[in-house]
Amino acid sequence: MNGHARRNIRIMLFIGSLLSALTACDPGGRLTQLTPQPPITTPIILGITAEAPGGGTLATAAAQMAEVTVAPPTPQPIPTIDPNLPAWTILYYAGADNEHGRYLWDDLNEMEIAGNTDQVRVVAQIDWNDGDPAGTTEALRYLIRPDADKAQVSSEVIARLGEANMGDPAVLADFLAWGITAYPANRYALVLGDFGGGWQGCCLDQSINLTGQSDHLSLPDIDQALALAQNQTNARLEVIAFAASLMNQVDVLETIQPYASFAVASAGLVPGSTWDFEPVLTQLNADPLIDGRQFAGDLVAAYVNYQRQLAGDEYTGMAAVDLAQVPAVSAAVESLALALEADPALYGALAADARRGAQKYGAAAVTDSERIAAVDLLHAAAIIA
C-alpha cells in the first residue's frame, strides 16, 4: 500500500471518528406540532436542521491526540428534582443598544402572550436604545406577566439599572445570579442575544457610555460570566440558546460546555426575528416537566417553523447540541489536524482546498464576511479525503 493510500485510509478513519462523535438532541418529533408549515424538504440530521449541502453539522477543535480514541461523553451531574420548586426559569439577556430593539420588544410581547404558570417563569434583562419602543435608554429587568396586547409590554419592571454595558461579563454574571437566586427552579435556560460573530462572541452593545463606545461579550467574557454565576449560585444551566448568528462553532461550544448540558445555536446567520416565543413558551407551559434535551429540540423546531413561515426559507438552520459530546469531537478534530500537520507541504494545500471549497456560514454578511465566515467541518474533511 503506497503512502497516498495509507493517508486516505487514515483521513477516512478520522472522518469516521468525527461522525461517531457528533451528536445532538432529538427534536422529539415536534417539528410539525407548533405551527403549520410547508412540507419538510431539508433533512434533520442528528437533531440538526441543516443548511445544504453539509449544513448545521457540528465543528469543534482542541485536545491532544495523535491517534483517534473517542472518549466517552463527559459525565454530567444528575439533576436533583425538588418538588417544591418550579420546573423552569428562563433567563433572557439581550442588548437592544443597537438597531435590533424592535425585535426584542416583539420577543417580550410574544412571551407575554404565552403567559406563565407556577411551573415556568421568565425573567429578562434588556438594555434599550434611544428611540426603542420601551421609551428609555436604561437597562431594565422584567418579570414576564401574561398580556394579550401584542403592541405593548406590560410586564413588571423589577429593576432599573441605568445605562448598563451588556458586553461586560460582570453584568451578565450579576443577571444570572439575581435570576437564579430570586426565581429558583429545577432547571434553568439562558437565552443570549443579540448579534453574534462566532469566535468573536455576541451581545453587541453599541453605546456603553456617553462617548458612544461599543462592547460585546467575547468568548473569554462569556466563560468568566458563566463561571462567576455558577460559583455564586452552585446552579448549572440546562440549556444555553443563542439568538445570534454563527454561534454553533467549535470555540463557542467549548466555552459553554462546562456550564450547561445543551446548546441551541445556528452555524449560519440568524435574522433579528429569531424565535417566536409564544409557541415556545406555550408548549413549555403545557409540558413543564420535560428535560433540557427535549426543550433544546423544541427550540430547534420552533425556530425552523417560524423562519419558514416568515421567509419561506427551506434552508434555515438551527442545531440542538449535547455538550457532553464536545470533548470527543474536539479530540477527533485535533487528531485530524495533527495528521495534516505531519506533512505541511502536501497537506497544507489540501487543507486550503477544503477551506475554500467547503460549505461556508456567514459569507452573506454585509461586512467582514471573509473574516467571520466559518466552514462545515465534515464537508471540509470530505474534501481532504
For 294-332, the pLDDT digits (tens) are 999 999 999 999 988 887 766 678 999 999 999 998 888
Dump pLDDT digits (tens) for 117-174: 999 999 999 988 876 777 788 899 999 999 999 888 989 999 999 988 888 999 999 9
Count Cα neighbours of 344 within 13 Å in the Cβ-side half-sphere.
0
Instruction: Show the domains of the chain with their CATH numbers.
Output: 88-325 (3.40.50.11970)
Distance CA 290, CA 172 (A): 26
Rg (CA), the chain: 21
The sign one gets for the Cα dihedral 229, 233, 236, 242 is negative
Q: H helices then E strands: how many in the chain?
A: 11, 14
Q: What's the mean pLDDT in 7-13?
A: 57
Amino acid at residue number 318: M
* Distances in whole angstroms, Cα of residue 94 to Cα of each of 107, 167, 217, 243, 285: 10, 10, 11, 9, 23
- φ, ψ (nearest 5 deg) of residue 376: -70, 125
Q: What is the pLDDT of residue 9?
A: 55
- Report the range out of 14-28, 228-242, 308-322 with the highest average pLDDT: 228-242
Q: What's the mean pLDDT in 50-57?
A: 32
Cell numbers that stand for 354 in this block: 477544503
Q: 8 by DSSP, 3-state: which?
A: helix
Mean residue pLDDT of the chain comes to: 79
